[in-house]
Amino acid sequence: MISFGIENCTNFDKSSSSEWLETNGIGGFASSTVSGANTRRYHGLLTAATNPPLGRVTMLSKFEETLFVDGKSLDLSTNQYPNAIYPNGYKYLKNFRLAPFPIWTFEVEGVEIEKKVFMVYGQNTTVCQWSIKNQSQIANRKLQIELKPLLSFVDYHSLQHENSDINPTFEVSNNLVSIHPFLEMPALYFAHDAFAVEKTGVWYRNFEYSIERERGFDFREDLFQPFALKFDLSERAIVVVSTESQKVFDAQNFENEEIERREALIKTADAKDDFTKQLTLAADHFIVSRGAGKTIIAGYHWFSDWGRDTMIALNGLTLATNRAEIAKEILLEFSKHISEGMLPNRFPDAGETPEYNTVDATLWYFEAVRSYTEKTNDYAFVRKNLYEKLIEIILWHLKGTRYQIHVDTDGLLFAGEKGVQLTWMDAKIGDYVVTPRTGKAVEIQALWYNSLCIMADFAKRFGDEKDQKRYLEMADAAKKSFNQIFWNEAEECLFDAINGEEKDASVRPNQIFAISLSNTMLSIERARKVVKKIEAELLTPFGLRSLSSKDKNYRPVCSGSPFERDSAYHQGTIWAWLIGAFVDAYRKVNTNGQKTENRINEILEGFKNHLTGAGVGQISEIFDGAAPHNPRGCIAQAWSVAEVLRVSRAEARAVSKEKI
């Protein structure tokens, strides 16, 4: 259980920089800060996925919460306005914990009041509860709470502003309030056990969101306040907020079911220690439904499901947690979206046409399939549903597909053209591609070789001797060319990208995949040198830097305007997910058993401490390259959680000293 004491809770800067997250398995979420002050446009008690897993609309931003003790009003809420924090209910906070969902304890005038928030799995529904914890000690006092919902009703990337288009009317019946402010959006229902519902109908203006201001975006919002709910706290105050009509009396069943569901996840994963248990629960937040299948949300708060992120994260989120059936559904679902031998890079928030502007997502698909069969031995599923599609992908890469992606005469894979960014280092500012890496990027060659070896293995298992021979010949050609042109003798590591006679000698983490993948092209001697180089120049407590700090283009901090952040995104910023490949490679070149595992535990220690950082119980997307390595980007990133979870559970592999 992650817990914050009174010292951290009542420190506004600390409690406002610690964010919690709840999700519903269909793309919706609830999120805010420990202090209760919203600091992002994405914060809210109900962001509904109206077209799961996308079509997200922030509907309920928050409640204004006022406690009445013997008639005296005391505000529990916290908001930031221009030059003011009001109210400052965070000062009453005694404790915050994840147990397993967000729970706050306030102490006011001798009264201890507990607040819980969780989402109902499979529904756009958030349950909020308030209850008195020391009821027996204050039996003679009159306690009430008033809750005023603040509505936003905007696309989750946007902010609301006062307008006359909103329909302020609402309907009240049998412990249910319903409101439909905008016809193009769903109605919102409040199931409750209040003794009174009073009309208000006012706008609260000029909420300020500090993180949006820091990121260079519009940071002020107005929210509509339609009515007030009044509760007697001799019993729990409950509000079930949903896009569906619910019954308040189901709240306890919802809570019991959600606790049981999360306990089952931990049991299925066979998670023993606190770190693994928390990462198992964190992993579940990213697994969502897409149609009848499953997919992976790349990160919260603003990402959708991306092909690259999904395939990289699949192993850690599903196989490392013993949820192989989910992996199977994801692999099958993405197989339906293969086009011209390519997996989609992402599914847009609006519209149904996926974007196919990635070279590596498709190659990571092969590794995801391999990982699934290694875990399950379910080769029959691959033979029936995926094998022909994998063959088709190889043929398209031989023939040539979008963006000049094709196998060159040397057996290596060429990709790219002016103005596009096809690898995971994909930052683009207008027409300016920060790290274009056109030509033959090092990790693309590693993935291509790995894919060919995987196909050779499948062909052998499925009795396709002719294809097996063909794939092995292609792999051998790629391996020979790779070792001839990619070794940088001066730096004793690999070039990052090669385009004709141009060789990019930037020391970047991409070369680690030439060692970490299940099928590799390097000798043990060269592999050890690469790992040594990366450990010396790129390794940090939170992952690998995207560029050596010795490079003239190194950017130590990833903050400021969108231009400043995108310029630094892959120019020294630390990426947590890369730690997985580093640990795999480190295990391969260091075979001295427990000593190696002790070193790996040291490497992963930073992530254990980070669980109480930016996203409580989660792992961030990125960190500043320079100390103190402040977390940046998404507070919860799928591949960050997945890779840390995967390698923290993996056993050291027995590797030959002569050959990888």
* Model pLDDT for residues 622-650, shown as the tens digit of each residue: 999 999 999 999 999 999 999 999 999 98
208 contacts 176 by C-beta, under 8 angstroms: no
pLDDT in tens, 257-268: 999 999 999 999
Closest by Cα among 204, 177, 184 to 38: 204
pLDDT in tens, 290-340: 988 899 999 999 999 999 999 999 999 999 999 999 999 999 999 999 999
pLDDT in tens, 371-403: 999 999 999 999 999 999 999 999 999 999 999
pLDDT at 654 over 60: no
Q: What integer is the mean pLDDT of 365-376?
A: 98
- Rounded Cα distance, 483 and 487, in Å: 6
pLDDT for residue 656: 33
pLDDT for residue 476: 98
Torsion over CA of 404, 406, 410 and 413, rounded to 10 degrees? 90
User: What amino acid is encoded at 413 in this protein?
Assistant: L
- Rounded Cα distance, 481 and 424, in Å: 23
How is residue 101 written in tokens?
């969902």
pTM: 0.95
| Topology at the third CATH level for domain 2-260 | Beta-galactosidase; Chain A, domain 5 (2.70.98)
pLDDT in tens, 198-217: 999 999 999 999 999 999 99
Q: Residue ranges per domain, the chain? A: 2-260, 270-649
DSSP state at residue 124: S
pLDDT for residue 352: 67
Confidence of residue 593 (pLDDT cuts 50, 70, 90): confident
Q: What integer is the mean pLDDT of 529-534?
A: 98
% of the chain with per-residue pLDDT over 70: 98
Distances from the Cα of 272 to the Cα of 266, 268, 279, 642, 653, angstroms: 8, 11, 11, 17, 21
pLDDT at 655 over 80: no
pLDDT in tens, 135-149: 878 878 999 999 999
- Rounded Cα distance, 223 and 43, in Å: 13
Q: What is the mean pLDDT of the chain?
A: 95
pLDDT in tens, 56-108: 999 999 999 999 999 999 999 999 999 999 999 999 999 999 999 999 999 99
Confidence of residue 363 (pLDDT cuts 50, 70, 90): very high
Q: What is the CATH number of domain 270-649?
A: 1.50.10.10
Residues in the chain: 660
DSSP H helical ranges for 400-542? 442-461, 465-485, 513-516, 524-537
pLDDT at 277 over 60: yes
pLDDT in tens, 417-450: 988 899 999 888 888 889 999 999 999 999 999 9
pLDDT in tens, 165-202: 999 999 999 999 999 999 999 999 999 999 999 999 99
